[in-house]
Amino acid sequence: EVQLVESGGGLVQPGGSLRLSCAASGFTFTRYWMSWVRQAPGKGLEWVANIKQDGTEKYYEDSVKGRFTISRDNAKNSLYLQMNSLRAEDTAVYYCARADIIVVRGVIIPWLDSWGQGTLVTVSS
Amino acid sequence: STELTQPPSVSVSPGQTARITCSGDALPLQYAFWYQHKPGQAPVLVMYKDYERPSGISERFFGSTSGTTVTLTISGVQAEDEADYYCQSADGSGTVVFGGGTKLTVL
């Protein structure tokens, strides 16, 4: 059974930093892309970042580029999200998700076939 | 950038058929995916590559596509189907974009 367990959320002041972790089990971690998705209070799902199996390709949503860094440790079956320069609008539940991909006309299209329960990040003074 | 447009809400009575649409100019060139999200729970993939149903998803869920619109159809709606539904595709290679979400209410 696929299991994704996020941790590291909490209350942080604007401008501060936080590192989220996601422990993966029940599947071969090195075979999959991985993703972070968030949901702000009362809002819809918003994709945050993707990382390829070997970490050589990373993609970010525009509002987090330069502030957030996605990474993975394949030896520990773990995914991370380093969040710096946090803003109030980053307040959300952050979900870790396993991503499969399909390539259509040279375009890599990820989709998220398993999700964790999420961890809440609150940015407030 | 790719935009996916969904109706904010759909309401149906139990046993009826719910249709949730998702429109986007890029959809004819890319696949669409659908997620069900209930409050306090992890989102669940209910449809992939337009009309493929993951194992464990009820046969009452059906995906279709026509031009720039993809549709998630839920037949014989049950109370347990009440949730937010999101379509998803890609906004550039390697990225993900979600529609705004549709709240399905079972009357």
Both tokens of residue B9? 């809400």
Strands A68-73 and A10-12: unpaired
What is the least distance, in Å, from the CA of A35 to any CA of chain B? Answer: 9
CA A27 to CA A13: how far, in whole Å?
Answer: 36
> Three-state SS for B28?
helix
List pLDDT tens digits, range A58-71.
999 999 999 999 99
3-class secondary-structure state, position A21: strand
Q: Does B7 touch chain A (CB under 8 A)?
A: no
The residue of B41, B45, B49, B95 whose CB has the most chain A CBs within 10 angstroms, and thus the best one to mutate to test that interface, is: B95
- Sheet of B18-23, strand order: B18-23, B69-74, B61-66
| Residues of chain B contacting A108 with CB distance shorter than 8 Å | 90, 93-94
Asked if B100 has any chain A CB less than 8 Å from its own CB, the reply is yes
Any CB–CB contact under 8 A between A9 and chain B? no
> Which residues lie across from B71 on neighbouring strands?
B21, B64
Tens of pLDDT, residue by residue over B20-62, are 999 999 888 889 999 999 999 999 999 999 999 999 999 999 9
SS3 percent helix, strand, coil of chain A, rounded to 5, is: 5, 60, 35
pLDDT single digits (tens) A6-29? 999 999 999 999 999 999 999 999
Identify which of B44, B5, B21, B28 has the alpha carbon closest to the alpha carbon of residue A107: B28
